[in-house]
Chains A and B, each alone.
Chain A
Amino acid sequence: MKRILARNAPGYLFLSPWLLGFFLLALGPILASLYLSFTRYDMVSDPRWIGWGNYEYMFTRDRRFWKALEVTFTYVAFAVPLRLAFALAVAMLLDKGLKTIGLYRAIFYLPSLLGASIAIAILWRELFSATGVVNQMLALVGIEGTDWITNPKTSIYTLVMLAVWQFGSPMLIFLAGLRGIPKDLYEAAEIDGTPRWRRFTRITLPLLAPVIFFNLVLQTIDAFKTFSSAFIISNGTGAPADSLLFFTVYLFNEAFKFFRMGYASALAWVLLIIIGVFTALAFLSSKYWVHYDNDRD
């Protein structure tokens, strides 16, 4: 008994802050959130059990819930592939034939660090406003722009642009991945006269698959969680006409504006399940398109 204690004590001692955090800040709240999602709770009176009531209302009667899903999925569907495509294209340009990539790398990465800030969200609002820079540039080539932010048809794409502007962090991960591809493969293919496109689809893509997979999972989860920029650009409400009603913005308003904590918890669980399903799908599908190095030798 003493020996077991002596063997385990140091490990658990060092782990204790995290363990405490895990139970108090992660596991506990998740279970509490699950419980609350089956209640009506306004923080004034105690939570009242209403069974599946929240979920039933959500799926059958709540139009804004469906709108929030639509907005969020549209955003994910455009922002993630565009950002990854940009990141990969620029990473490939930087990877080959250039000696001084440090400065480019820094310039392309900087927006990823700044992009989450309120300052940039404010800037974005003004860039795409009716009298903003974007419209002035379009006017130079004779196109009359709209008020991109207050037009419900275009508002979501300003946020997609903001996401693409931050392609730097997946780019860095792609760069590291490209470094790992043996250069002699390309040389051999070039001598054989393999066209550039085939070199890309037959060498780069398959060998980079694990990195693409990693980036895809990470960026998708991140995109579903988008909050600050959408909150600032839509004045905290999801306006105009709910076209920026991101799932997280809707959840925030239900919880902290209307104090419908039970309903907001149900929304949180739906978000958790959506992210869980997407992560699981990525992992399940990965066996068909991601092959790790070790199955080669």
Chain B
Amino acid sequence: MTTTATDLEKAMAFDEAARVAHELRVKQDQRNRRARYLKHLFLILVSVVMLYPLFWLVASSLKPETQIFGSLSLWPEEFHFDNYTRGWNALPISFTVFYMNSAIVTLLSVVGNLISCSFAAYAFARLQFTGRTIWFALMMMTLMIPYHVVLIPQYVQFLKLGWVDTYLPLVVPKFLASDAFFIFLMVQFFRQLPRELDEAAMIDGCSPFKIYWAIILPLSLPAMGTAAIFSLIWVWEDFLAPLIYLNDIKSYTVPLALRLFLDQEGESAYGQMFAMSVLSLVPVVIFFVAFQKLIVRGIATSGMK
């Protein structure tokens, strides 16, 4: 076999083409890398701006009163935990009570939301009954209604029932699925579960409640978890309903207690106010970290991309 000139030329041309392609790729890579660095730089900058207020809050809570408004620094010269110990008892009632109150309201609300909303969602997503579409449409419409519209008649009603200054107006609505958003969230999830499961269970003689309890709920843990976390955070931070229904300081939740600091601003207890503010955010941040994992697991188990 002899190599002809044309073959040689072809081979060289290929070689050249490969070299050019390689160079282009290297250049492209370099450009991509530079773009990526720029992107990271920008995103880090945004992150710093986003987090700065939070870090400033934490730093200020650790500084003595006189140094809070003097500096931008995020590192206290000396750590001053006084604000926490004194702030905890700065109000006529200790924060232990406020945290207990908030915990009771939050816990009951989350339980109420999970039970009542999953009941309603199960009915909407898996059961056949007349009027289902109409009720579903009405449920979706309640999503749009501002709380302020139902607030006044609800208040009048709860006052007549003697429920003002108890936790009932805060908690009972949760057992009646008043947070329609969670119904919607669960309906979306329940609908994705294969229908064959219900049908097979029904043929085996399972009651609708058995199907809900033994099949739907165990398969929906990610959705239930998401609903639990969101409802926990929202109730924990809720301000309007406690503001209206709780008048006695002994029954105050944490957000109401924080507001008391503002009324005493003249006494310049900024450090203590910031310290208690930081503490009030801690549960949310902790649950946020857990929530992140839950989302990832939820996405993995449900096979969504």
Complex Cα spacing A106 to B120, Å: 32
Are B148 and A118 touching (Cβ within 8 A)?
Answer: no
Q: Does A36 contact B (CB under 8 A)?
A: yes
Contacts A17-B176, A18-B116; A232 near B259 (Cβ below 8 A): yes
* Residues in chain B near residue A237, CB distance under 8 A: none
- The residue that A93 contacts in the complex, of B43, B150, B278, B285, with Cβ under 8 A, is B43
Binds A, one of B14-22, B47-55, B76-84: B47-55
Instruction: Report which of A17, A221, A227 forms a contact with B120, defined as CB distance below 8 A.
Output: A17
Inter-chain contact B259/A225, CB cutoff 8 Å: no
Instruction: Name A227-284 residues within 8 Å CB distance of B.
Output: 227-228, 231-232, 235, 248, 251-252, 255-256, 261, 264-265, 268-269, 271-272, 275-276, 279
Of A8, A36, A131, the residue contacting B153 (CB under 8 A) is: A36
B122 adjacent to A14 (CB under 8 Å): yes
Q: Assuming A21-B176, A36-B153, is B46 touching A106 (CB within 8 A)?
A: no
Contacts of A193 in B (CB 8 A): none
Which single member of A18, A28, A108 contacts B47 (CB below 8 Å)?
Answer: A108
Number of interface residues of B (CB under 8 A): 83
The interface residues of chain B, by DSSP majority, are classed as helix
Give every chain B residue within 8 A of A225 (Cβ-Cβ).
Answer: 146-148
Report whether A114 and B284 are in contact in the complex, using a CB–CB cutoff of 8 Å. Answer: yes
Contact in complex: A119, B259 (CB < 8 Å): no
A17 to chain B: which residues have CB within 8 Å? 115-116, 119-120, 175-177
Asked if B149 is at the interface of the complex by the 8 Å CB criterion, the answer is: yes
User: Top 5 A-B pairs ranked by shortest CB distance?
Assistant: A21-B176, A11-B129, A119-B277, A32-B153, A29-B153
Residues of B in contact with A (beta carbons under 8 Å apart): 32, 35-36, 39-40, 42-43, 46-47, 50-51, 53-54, 56-57, 69, 71-72, 115-117, 119-120, 122-124, 127-130, 132, 135, 138-139, 142, 144-157, 159, 173, 175-178, 183, 207-209, 212, 233-234, 237, 239-240, 244, 255, 258-259, 261-262, 270, 273-274, 277-278, 280-281, 284-285, 288, 292, 305
Task: State the A residues within 8 Å of B (CB).
Answer: 4, 7-8, 10-12, 14-22, 24-26, 28-30, 32-33, 36, 43, 90, 93-94, 97-98, 102, 104, 106-108, 110-111, 113-114, 116-120, 122-124, 126-127, 131-133, 136-137, 165, 179, 221, 224-225, 227-228, 231-232, 235, 248, 251-252, 255-256, 261, 264-265, 268-269, 271-272, 275-276, 279
